[in-house]
């Protein structure tokens, strides 16, 4: 199950990057349509988007996980991450210009290139965000169309909002843990796992009373499925009842110990 959700995420990224490269090659933005032939544009934009994409991925992920930016809308956080990644990204573009069209550098200034790279990063990441949001909306609409009789309504009202975001096959399960992977939260339940495009803090807000504790800036574990806290070298880990372990950072260790104490397992 985890392999399938990860594959879906990778497939979505491949589609987004493929569309971005196709558009840039055939529209030739930023003067590349005038300065380069078709195959030079293919090489230029494939290298540019792929390389800059790595910087964007690292910086956007870091900003999405930042505790200082947690209250900002996701699109604003993506823009901040893209602006940070724009600095090394602009350096990549300058290098490519030196190779493919050195004469263009006379009219190009670093601030201008930084702004262009930042805008490209926001557009590409925003496209991925839009695709994932539409997929989630479609799942929620399908859920609303499912027939419900009067006897089922009280149970539906008690269902945590996070479970309502999951596919139907997982909604009857119990949440075991949540872990950030790139821009997604991997929600693991007793019925399987699924990737959801959101921040960990937002996912925790949707738990609606499911008891647990954040163990790390990128991990959360349910109290009912927490087993023991152990030390592996210089690191601490929380073993879960399904056999997996999640890391426990020093900032969250006290909260994990309190959770286990309340269960009488510390």
3-state secondary structure of 199: coil
Residues 6+ apart with CB under 8 A from 175: 160, 162, 163, 187, 188, 189, 207, 210, 212, 222
Asked whether 183 and 171 are in contact (CB, 8 A), the reply is: no
What average pLDDT score do residues 56-60 get?
A: 84
Q: How far is CA 136 from CA 6, 57, 130, in A?
A: 16, 21, 10
How far apart CA 45 and CA 32 sit, in angstroms, is 9
Instruction: Name the more confident of 136 and 178.
Output: 178
Q: What is the pLDDT of residue 133?
A: 55
* Both tokens assigned to 157: 């009202």
Q: Which of 234, 183, 179 is nearest to 212 (CA)?
A: 179
* Host H or E run for residue 163: helix 161-164
Instruction: Name the more confident of 148 and 165.
Output: 165
Alpha helices in 66-160 (DSSP H): 74-100, 110-145, 153-158
Q: What is the pLDDT of residue 20?
A: 80
Q: Which of 119, 123, 42 is nearest to 86 (CA)?
A: 119
Report the mean per-residue pLDDT for the chain. 80
pTM over 0.85: no
Residues 6+ apart with CB under 8 A from 160: 175, 206, 207, 208, 209, 210
Residues 6+ apart with CB under 8 A from 183: 60, 61, 64, 125, 128, 129, 197
Give the strand pairing for 219-222 and 245-248: unpaired
* Both tokens assigned to 39: 């195959």
What average pLDDT score do residues 127-156 get?
A: 52
192-197, strands of its sheet edge to edge = 192-197, 184-189, 175-181, 219-222, 212-216
How far apart CA 246 and CA 35 sit, in angstroms, is 52
Asked whether 98 and 122 are in contact (CB, 8 A), the reply is: no
Q: Centre a 10 Å sphere on the Cβ of residue 180 and count the other Cβ atoms it contains.
A: 21
Tell me the pLDDT tens digit for each residue of 185-234. Answer: 999 999 999 988 888 888 999 998 899 999 999 999 999 999 999 987 78
| DSSP tag of 190 | T
Asked whether 204 and 220 are in contact (CB, 8 A), the reply is: yes
How far apart CA 53 and CA 92 sit, in angstroms, is 11
Whether residue 134 has pLDDT greater than 90: no
Q: What is the pLDDT of residue 153?
A: 42
Tell me the pLDDT tens digit for each residue of 65-109. Answer: 777 877 787 778 888 988 999 999 888 888 888 888 887 765 557
Instruction: Name the more confident of 132 and 46.
Output: 46
Q: What is the pLDDT of residue 108?
A: 55
Instruction: Name the more confident of 260 and 152.
Output: 260
């Amino acid at each position: 199950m985890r392999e399938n959700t990860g594959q879906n995420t990778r497939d979505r990224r491949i589609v987004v990057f493929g569309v971005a490269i196709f558009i840039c090659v055939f529209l030739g933005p930023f003067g590349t349509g005038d300065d380069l032939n078709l195959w030079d544009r293919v090489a230029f934009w494939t290298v540019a988007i792929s390389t800059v994409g790595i910087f964007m991925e690292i910086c956007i992920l870091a900003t999405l996980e930042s505790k200082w930016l947690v209250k900002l809308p996701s699109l604003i956080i993506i823009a901040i991450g893209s602006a940070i990644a724009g600095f090394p990204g602009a350096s990549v573009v300058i290098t490519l210009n030196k190779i493919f069209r050195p004469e263009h550098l006379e009219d190009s200034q670093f601030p201008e290139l930084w702004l262009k790279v930042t805008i490209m990063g926001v557009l590409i990441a925003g496209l991925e965000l839009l695709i994932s949001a539409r997929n989630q909306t479609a799942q929620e609409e399908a859920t609303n169309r499912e027939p419900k009789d009067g006897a089922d309504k009280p149970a539906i009202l008690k269902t945590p909002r996070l479970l309502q975001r999951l596919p139907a096959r997982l909604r009857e399960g119990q949440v075991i843990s949540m872990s950030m992977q790139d821009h997604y939260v991997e929600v693991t339940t007793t019925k399987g796992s699924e990737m959801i495009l959101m921040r960990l803090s937002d996912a925790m807000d949707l738990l609606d009373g499911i008891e647990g504790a954040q163990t790390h800036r990128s991990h959360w574990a349910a109290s009912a499925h927490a087993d023991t806290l152990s030390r592996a070298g210089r690191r601490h880990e929380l073993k879960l009842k399904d056999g997996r372990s999640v890391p426990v950072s020093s900032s969250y260790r006290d909260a994990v110990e309190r959770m286990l104490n309340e269960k009488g397992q510390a």
